[in-house]
Amino acid sequence: MAVCVKPFVSHCPSGDERKEYTANSDSWYDAPKWALAVAMCFTAILIVVMIIQVIKYISFSSRRVMKGGSFGLFNRIAAISRAMHYHRFKIRGYFLPYTFPLMLITFMFVWTTIWTFASFPYYRPGMEYGSPPLGVRAGYIATALVPLVFAIGVRVNPVSFLTGISHERLQVYHQYGARIILFFSVVHTIPFIVGPYQQGLEYGGRETARYFLQYYYDQTEQFWNGIPPLVALVWIVISSMGYFRKFSYEFFVIQHVLSVLFFLVWMLIHVKVSLLDAWYYMFVSVGTMIWSWFGRVLWTLWANEFKFNQATIEPLSEDVTRLRIITPVRWTPAQNIYIRFPTMMVFQSHPFTITSIPSLDEHSNHNIMQLLIRGKGGVTRRLRNKALSGITSVPCLIDGPYGGFLVPLDKYTHVTLIAGGTGINASIAILLDLMRKMERGETLVQHIDFVWTLRSMQSLEWFNDTFHTLSTYNTFSNVNLVVYVTGSNIAEAVAVEKSESAHSNESLVYDEKLYNFTKGRPDLRQVVKNAAHAAQGLDLAVVVCGPPRGNFNYDVMNECAATELKIARGDKLLPRRLFAHSESTECHSWLHSRLHYDVNRSRLPEKIWNVPVPREEAESENENENGRERGNTAQTASSLITPMAINKQGGSSDLYQPIYGLVVGLALLGLVLFVIALQQTKYYLAKHPQRKKQLPSFVRQIAALCRAGKYHQIKIGDWYLPHTIPLIGIISLFILLAAWSLGTLPYYSHDFNTEKSPLATRAGSLAMALVPFIFTLGSRFNPISLATGISHEKLQTYHQYGSRLLLFISVVHGVPMLLQPYFDGYRTGGDAAGRTALQNAWDNNAHFESGTVLIVFLVWINISSMRVFRRISYEFFVFQHVVTTIAFLANMFPHVNVTYMDAWNYLFATVALVLYSWFGRLALTIYSNKLSTAHAQLENLTEGMTRLSIKTKIRWKPGQHIYIRFPFLKPLQSHPFTITSIPSTDSEHSVIQLLARAKGGMTKELHERAQQGRTYIPCFVDGAYGGSIPLDGYTNVLLLSGGTGITCNMPLLLDLMQRMEKGKTVCQHIDLVWSVRSKKSLEWFDATFRSLSRLASWENVRVRVFLTGDKSAPPTSSSIATSIASDSSSNFTEKKLYEMVTGRPDLEALLNEAARQSAGTTLGLSVCGPKLFNWEVMNRVSDIEVGISMKDSCLPSTLYAHSENFAS
């Protein structure tokens, strides 16, 4: 901000002088480019990461990929890359981030720092010439980093959604990103202090310098309102260091959230008055926080079935407490959850790693979630005390699960699990999952090394029963279980246990045959080396979970990094591929799986979850155990396998079916990005017409043909298809969905009980990918319109046809689900057996009923959205459409819970987008109405028309519309109206004028109130919506209106004439054609036309009125209306305003005339009228565009057309 310190500064430059002076020296007006460049760089990095993750995802979808290849160039590069991800530096006990994240963070910091300081100048000659460029550059860079840091710091965030990398793994970027923001914030602040102080020194001594600094502080609002966010940022960075987090995790979380909110509020205040376009970055930050918070709330409500769960608690040895929760939530090994205990700390949730695996039956709502918690302080200490005091259960709320693996461990032949202390929480779940798959032959794993380091033998109590149960499996011979005891004498401990068990009926607790006991600490590097040599030529996965302090994880991961480098050099004595995963006992997990394993879940004995079983089952199980021998376990293994096994090795696996939806989702997202780039190009060319002339002729020809396709529309009877290019896009998407789902084999599995129909699974995945886009395209306030500038009305075509595609693909999903069990039964026993099998499937599968309800809702939504139903009652249509859509979305949650992998990501995206739309509209409405109601003045006009006038501070563009809500008429409904006026240029208040034809519902009530003389009514304004119509860049303009379609073209005429008066447009001639039934309709805008006729530019305007139903109109097209006042029903003055013509306009002749008059120049067209009216115009415009592409010299060089539909 420029500040002129008088009387020291004799000349204070004007705004134009400052702009001219700084034009070539990092102008403040071009400063947003710094933030944009940083944002684009991070967007590019995000896209690259997404592509890499998709490649990894696809590569692991085929076992052949894992079996093939050895030491090719690609594998060596991948090995080096993994080595950088595993290696980390340690400086005197301080662990730096892993090497690759460290390199990326360092690169971004160095690049932005060099870019900031290598650009000149740093300061202006004086503060009267504006802000210091160095401070402005740093400020914009810091502002651009804020949304990214917010996005990767929350649990549910778009970065994790797009890349599959969990928020825990992104924390390192979040923490160091905040420190980089602090650095640039300081660099941003210092020049604003040094600049005025240095200028004061030039005019005098230190006293003068202090005066300059004080004067600058007093005169610039952003100087003082930038201090609170800077102080908050310093505190956030300091309080986030490890020491403070360890001191009190609960206090850290509370103060961190409050500090971040304080920082964000003050940033909104600061950038409002200082930085151009900076609000965009703040709004993205707020949107990300809303996404996260509401996503977590919705997930928590569903996971807890809209009630409190009851967690049973049990005290164990070594200050450990076991929690068990019965929940419908499903999870994968090594995932973690956040639990909130409302009776202890209602505002805090604590993370815990899940130590169990879900039930085999994927339709079960009774999965037993087990957690082991060491009592240290806060919530964990309170839980421990409650368990010791005899309390057996506490209410809780589940939030999660989070984390997991992106790389499936069951694709590796050798797996090494290394756990330190309570780090076994993650390792035991992985072991349970892998052994279940090994027992069923559903994994490539051949050998598992399980290494557990603990202080005392008493810690074996935590999972002793689990290990004993696993030892009964045939495949347990492939497991090497090694226990390192660091704090007790092994022999004495075992002897004591034997002695105690000799006087009891219980079996031995610690079996030396089961465990390989070793005294002392393990040589972790040697453990990794041994595992690597044992997996020579095969694939090895290493998972380590140990204490956060010390060298436990550090030694394992660095040795894995060294092994990867040897693999890259082609060492034949090592594995072909090595995957390593590390997490600390306080970090829980790090890589959220986009690939939720659809594991082949077998019902293992309930002991495996350490959960009590019914008495009868327990007695039966004890009898089996008493008669069981270790050498005869084949029958035992087979008894563990239930009919709900899925994905046999030789069958068609639906494990990776989410790839179908993922590819479609990414393709649609890529299409949106392409449209954004196209719109930005059009915007740039519109602002720089000289650049458009420099384009090659073939590019202009292609553009003309594309516009022809955009304008052309096919009509079949009374049914209007979408315009050609949207129609081609819709048909292409339909063909893609149909071909990909129906063109891929097989359709059906061998047994419905063991595997769902692959066709149904494919179609379901594709349908889920469409849902977020359909909801987004149908929302009034949506990110696609914000990003592309295309109004939501233009997107309605894609919304409507997209919902029909969704119905089609949903039917393709549902039909095989019904036919599969019928065919299974029919093959064995004919029609009767088929019907019985179908009935059984219906009774035993909840997703059959929920899916049927969804199909019914979807059919009704599509039928009720047809034009014939909308015309009957628009208000009823809107109300029922919203209700049925919400019902459809609500029923999607229980349905996808039991059917599709990864579908929740799409549902959360949908809910977030809906909330974004609703809260965005709410915020816009509150802002537009200034927390109070506006008052609309009603005026009764002819032919059932009512004029509404609303005084407001809202600014809008010609052609936009608003939604009006009348709280005392119909408070739950809002109605759209096109604005017929333009905003004032000399006052902050403007008058919105609207025309409403009384048809029924709200518009009829408004007209009746106007007739009764009740001229004012309270209302809320929501808008403005719709894109601007850029006609000011065209030499000739043609405005075609049919009936009330004049409401769209009138503000365009007003705006163009205003610009012509000020010389701010290239427009030279305007031709307005209005087709109405009666000349009484001219009363609507008579006063407006009379005002315009007084302007000098009126000579360049031609207004022709076609009267289609008034027999008293002049008989020829050449007559000029000079006796309008003779009509007693009219109050018109005698003025040559209109050329009045009897009959309907020849639209083709009008367009040909305008095209010939615009030959060699440019022509802009806006048409607004009934569908047939618009159809005739736009199809003729399409023909003209084809002629332009053929370089017809009798046509305009450029033609732009815009159409709006209105009922006449």
Q: Give yes or no for a contact between 811 and 855, defined as CB atoms under 8 angstroms apart.
A: yes
CA separation for the pair 624, 613 (Å, rounded): 15
Structural tokens at position 903: 């579908």
pLDDT confidence band for 1115 (50 / 70 / 90): very low
Residue 1041 is predicted with a pLDDT of: 92
Q: Are strands 1162-1169 and 345-353 parallel, antiparallel or unpaired?
A: unpaired
Please check whether the domain covering 1036-1205 is classified as CATH 3.40.190.290.
no
CATH number at 933-1025: 2.40.30.10
The per-residue pLDDT for range 422-475, each reduced to its tens digit, is: 888 888 889 998 998 898 888 889 999 999 998 888 888 888 888 888 888 888
Q: What's the pLDDT score for residue 332?
A: 86
Q: What is the pLDDT of residue 738?
A: 84
C-alpha 525: how far from its chain's center? 42
Beta-bridge partner residues of 452:
419, 483
At the fourth CATH level, which superfamily is domain 304-403? Translation factors (2.40.30.10)
Alpha-carbon separation of residue 1157 from 24, 28, 531, 900, 1035 (angstroms): 42, 43, 83, 61, 10
pLDDT of residue 563: 93
pLDDT at 510: 55
Query: Is pLDDT above 50 for 41?
Result: yes
- Say whether pLDDT at 280 is over 50: yes
Highest mean predicted confidence (pLDDT) among 47-61, 131-145, 674-688? 131-145
Q: pLDDT tens across 155-209, in order?
A: 888 888 888 888 888 889 999 999 999 999 999 999 999 988 888 888 888 888 8
- Please tell me the pTM assigned to this model: 0.54
pLDDT per residue over 827-855, tens digit each?
788 888 888 888 888 887 777 888 888 99
Q: At what angle do helices 1171-1189 and 697-711 cross, to 10 degrees?
A: 160
Instruction: Return the percentage of the chain with pLDDT > 90, whole number.
Output: 16
Tell me what percent of the residues of the chain surpass a pLDDT of 70: 84
| Distance between CA atoms of residues 46 and 68, nearest Å | 29
Higher pLDDT, 604 or 545: 545
Write phi, then psi, for 992 (nearest 5 degrees).
Answer: -85, 120
Does residue 940 surpass a pLDDT of 70? yes
Give whole-number Cα distances, 1006 to 943, 965, 971, 996, in Å.
14, 12, 14, 8
Structure confidence by residue, pLDDT tens digits, 122-138: 888 888 888 899 999 99
Which pLDDT score, from 0 to 100, does residue 649 have? Answer: 35
Under the banding of pLDDT at 50, 70 and 90, the label for residue 1 is low
Confidence of residue 689 (pLDDT cuts 50, 70, 90): low
* Region of poorest pLDDT, from 17-31, 696-710, 717-731: 17-31
- Cβ(948)–Cβ(963) under 8 Å? no
Confidence category of residue 650, pLDDT binned at 50, 70, 90: very low
Q: What is the mean pLDDT of the chain?
A: 79
pLDDT of residue 613: 35
Residue-wise pLDDT tens digits, 332-365: 888 888 888 888 876 678 888 888 888 877 667 7
* Dmax (CA) of the chain: 121
DSSP helix/strand/coil, 1129: coil
Task: Point out the least confidently predicted range of 207-221, 243-257, 1085-1099.
Answer: 243-257
CATH number among 3.40.50.1100, 3.40.50.1370, 3.40.50.80, 3.40.190.170, domain 409-604 = 3.40.50.80
Q: 268-272, 695-699, 1062-1066: which has the highest mean pLDDT?
A: 1062-1066
Lowest mean pLDDT among 309-323, 676-690, 994-1008, 1173-1187: 676-690
Q: Report whether pLDDT(493) > 90.
A: no
- Structure confidence at residue 587 (pLDDT): 40
Q: What is the pLDDT of residue 754?
A: 59
User: Do the domains 1036-1205 and 409-604 match in fold?
Assistant: yes
- Residue 622 has what pLDDT? 40
Identity of the residue numbered 849: E
Query: Average pLDDT for residues 752-771, to the nearest whole number?
Result: 80
The per-residue pLDDT for 1133 is 40
Is residue 663 predicted with pLDDT exceeding 80?
Answer: no
Instruction: Identify the CA nearest to 1038 among candidates 1073, 1009, 1089.
Output: 1073
Q: What is the DSSP string of 169-204?
A: TTHHHHHHHHHHHHHHHHHHHHHHHHHHHHHHHHHS
138-147, 574-583, 915-924, 1110-1119, range with the lowest pLDDT = 1110-1119
pLDDT score, position 1017: 87
The residue ranges of every structural domain in the chain are 101-302, 304-403, 409-604, 660-687+744-922, 933-1025, 1036-1205
